[in-house]
Structure formats: structure tokens, C-alpha cells
Structure 1
């Protein structure tokens, strides 16, 4: 059980641990492993829940289950592509590839969190009463994070229901969402460069998005940018001339974009109705990187279809 190579966020971390636990209950020997660094979404309290990845090095002949990732360009380097037997993800772009390769063992859905998909597997197996409090808490927190406290556009009723069931099983406090996102912000601000590096992706030029794309989810995005803009801008500029930071503000349910290169601003303006002021723009709703990727891919699809439409 593993995920991507660049970093491990709370969704991937929770899914690896909780799905390995389920498979072991079902008599399938499974380990949750990753060589990727943890990012700031795995907060201090989460780390204190005493659930962790296994200290295990994959051996020849091991099979691999991928969670929260389906782009084989970004798999953990321990993965042997031909030995992948299952993919569980909610990111767009590779649905056809895995459907052809794995059939029904490829579960790639437009849903708020991969953690919801893992919850559904526990429920379908009639083993939910056996889930540990730690795994229930991890999955619930991953749903909170990936749905932006249920304000994200990809949030579904399945995500909401999964969180409700898991939060009760984990005995999470009612104020856990605010505490969690505030902890994430404190962690980010204590090591800003590390947080940027741990949640930055390099996108293909044809994605219609800035090639260097960093993202953070915090309680108060305006305060973070106001305090740390210079540090953020200098570091991202050193990564390339086409960059964007999306800071999601849970308190306000908004996305704050920071992109000083004009080319980066233009790419985003082609996808969203936003106005730039001195390299910043505010979207009056929360928007995740994967949602922007869907918009970019949709724009590619429309552009590809235009010559065919013109000929018809």
C-alpha cells in the first residue's frame, strides 16, 4: 500500500494505513509504506495518534496497491508498475489507462477524498465495527482536509456521510476542524520553505496551468501571505519562471492566489474569472489544485475538439 513520490499528504497517509488494516482483517497480508516526506497536512495531533507507516522495504514479487494517485509518472519509486494490482484515486487524467490495465480494480472517481473510497470498502466488507479509532480518525481528517471542511466543489454527499460516521467512531471533538486547520497553519509557518517544497508539483506544459504549482490549506490565508509573501515569492521564483501558489483559507472559504510572473497570471485568467492586483488574486470560493487541473484538462479537450467541430 503506497502513494506518490513527491510528498505524502493526510489523504494518502490515512488511506495507506486504513486500507492496509482492512486488508489484514480480510486475511490479505498488507503493509502501508512510503519513501515520500510527510507534508504539513499531517499535523502534530495527527502524528500523536500512534498510527504510522510500516518500516518495510518491498521485495521482489510484492504486489502494489496505489491510493490517492493514478499518474504513474509520480508513483513512489518503490513501485513496480507491472506489479500494481489496484488503484484507488480521485484525481483526473488516467482513468482510461487504468480501466484498460486493471478493469474494476481501478477505482478513480470524482469525489472529495480518496479516504471516502477507503471508508466505503470497510463498509462494503461489513467490517466497520472493527476499524481502529486511529484509522477512523485519520480517514475523517483526510476527508476534512480534501473537501476543505466540506466547502470544496468536489465534495459529495458520500464524503459528508463518511465523515459523520468516522468522526463518531473516532470520538472527534466538534471543534476538531478548526483545531486541525490551525495546527496545519502553525506547522507551515514554522518551516515555510519545507512546507512549500513538500506540497509543490511540477506540471506538464500542456496542462494549461503554471508549471510550478504549490498549494497550502490553512485557517487564515490572508494573514499567512501578508506575513510571509517575500519569502514565498523568492523561493518559488527560484524554482522556475512560471509559478503559482494557491493558499486555501478555511476560515473564509476562499482561495488566495499568488503568482508574480505574468505568464502564470494569464494561464489562470484563461480558466477563472479573477482580477490580479500586484501578483495576487482572491477567488470567492475555495478551489483545490485537482479542480484547477480538471479545468485545464477540460480546456484541452475543447481545443482538441474544435477542428473536428469545424469540419462537421
Structure 2
């Protein structure tokens, strides 16, 4: 039996869809497989796409002969607890940093490369095997959503042409129209809004001083962030300000094609002034393109204080 699983902290849509669709492909190829995870699902998986868990099983007995395939994770320190490292036989991932670790153990069965979504890698298994026509509509829809989520609707700098081609083929197979991405992200936003405080705290990173960014940095991906700011800004400021004024929130607004940066006190604003040309109005910056936290972190780490000329 092959157990297809992912990381320990949570499952996003990329991991969730990839595990389910890859297990389906393995079974179709005559290799008995089950998609299984003990991690909670995050807000990128809206309720309509998690009903009945769509083929994802809760952890249970796997048998002494079971082997493991990892999807959307390669950090061997953060695997689902059900995984036995010695019995991992394949890795499908797009996060850098552990290529050498797995290449030594698995050789070509460690598929770790720069691409927008692990779902694209899973799609390519289906395509290259000639079995794409037999993929279930559910799996095609899930893989399409995983690509949308991980590439920020094709606006992220990690997005590749392979991701675009995979999404187009999956959308055709699943019968998704051009408005479907907006509906998907709107469903995710409703789920976030329903538990906004938990969503903010769940994706809150505590940064080191050398980041040159506010100490606490939260991020949410939405379809229309302007509406959320208008209606819920006091709650956001209360939640993120409970440790003081040194905080920052990046609201990625995909439907508007921009990011809103909401910061705490004067010190937080000054840190952003050093990195960005866009100035704040009432503590809020509006960038004319979506930006990821990791991109802002790169800017912060690269910043150097000007020399003292006195």
C-alpha cells in the first residue's frame, strides 16, 4: 500500500489536491494507494471543496508493508507524524532547500523543482501517462484550485508557463469557466472572514531584528481586500496590536490585482518607508500589484543603513 501524504502543520489546497489526485492516479495505474493526513486544512480549501474530504482519509493503521509518497513537502523535519522516513519512496515538491537530502536517498524519484505548484507536477504525471481523460472531475477541479492558490492567480513570481498550461488543461477537463477563479477565491475569503481572528493568528510570523521589517508580520490572500478593510479594520488592529505597535499585515487582493500593507505604529511605518516608494495614508499602503511576504522579507534582508557621514 502506498500512503500519499504531506506536511505536519496544515494542508493548503496545493497539498490537499496533490495528495488526492496522485493517489487516484496510482490506483488507476494498478498501485494501491490512499491519500491520508493528520494535519488540519487551512482557509485555501473552502467548504464546497472539502465536503466528504474528497478522498482524503484521517490517519489510521497503515501496515508494516506500507510506503510513503510526499507531496508539497520536502523538509524531512516537518512531515506528517504518520510518515516513517526510511519508507519514503517518492517526493513531489517545489520548495527549495532539501534537494540534496532526497537526491541521495531517492535519485530521480525526488522531483523537487522550481515551479508554481506541486499540483502542476501531479498533473504532469497524469498527462505523461496518457491517462488524463480518465481523471475524475473532482480531482481536476482540486488540482486547478491548487494551481490558482499557489500562484496567486498567476501573479506570483514563482509562476511558470507549465503552471499556466496545466491549469488550462485541467479547467477544460473539469468544465471550469473563466469566472471560476473569482468564485473560488471569494469562497476562500468568506471562510477567512468567518473566523478572521484565527486566520490572522494562524499566518502570523515572528521575524528577527535583521529582517528590517516589523516584528510580527501577518498575511492573508483574499479576492477583495478593500471590502474587508472597510468593514473589519478595527478588529484587525486589535488582534495584531495585542503585543504592541510593531506589526504589519499584507492583504493580497487578487481581484483588484494589488496588495494592501497595514502597519502598526510609527516605527513600523518608518521601516516600510525605507523599503518602498509607496507612502502610507492613515497607516495603509496600496501597492499596484500583489506582493508576497517572502518578497518583502528579501527586500528587508537586503537593506543596508546608509553610512554615517558625520
Pairwise same-fold verdict (TM > 0.5): yes
TM-score range, shorter chain: 0.7 to 0.9
Distance verdict in 2 for CA 1:44–1:284, change over 3 Å? same
Give 1:135 deviation, angstroms.
0.1
Partner of 2:184: 180
Q: Does 1:22 pair with 2:25?
A: yes
Distance verdict in 2 for CA 1:212–1:60, change over 3 Å? farther
3-state SS of the aligned residue for 1:64?
Answer: strand
Q: Which deviates more, 139-148 or 45-54?
A: 45-54
3-state SS of the aligned residue for 2:103?
Answer: helix
**d(CA) in 1 for partners of 2:42, 2:214:** 21
Partner of 2:235: 231
Q: Deviations over 1:157-215 (max 9, x none)?
A: 11111111101111113211111111111111111123234444566777776665433
| Mapped contact 1:255–1:286 kept (Cα < 8 A) | yes
Q: Does 1:51 pair with 2:90?
A: no
Partner of 2:95: 91
3-state SS of the aligned residue for 1:65?
Answer: strand
Give the total of aligned pairs. 300
- Correspondence 1:131-210 to 2 at 5 A: 131-201=135-205
**d(CA) in 1 for partners of 2:19, 2:244:** 32
TM-score, normalization: structure 2? Answer: 0.82
Distance verdict in 2 for CA 1:276–1:77, change over 3 Å? farther
Q: Which protein, 1 or 2, shows the higher relative CO under an 8 Å CA cutoff with sep ≥ 6?
A: 1
Distance verdict in 2 for CA 1:240–1:116, change over 3 Å? farther
**d(CA) in 2 for partners of 1:110, 1:207:** 24
Distance verdict in 2 for CA 1:78–1:201, change over 3 Å? farther
Q: Which deviates more, 228-237 or 216-225?
A: 228-237
Partner of 2:7: 4
The higher radius of gyration belongs to 2
Q: Does 1:63 pair with 2:42?
A: no
Partner of 2:131: 127
Distance verdict in 2 for CA 1:70–1:50, change over 3 Å? closer
**d(CA) in 1 for partners of 2:240, 2:110:** 35
Give 1:292 deviation, angstroms.
5.1
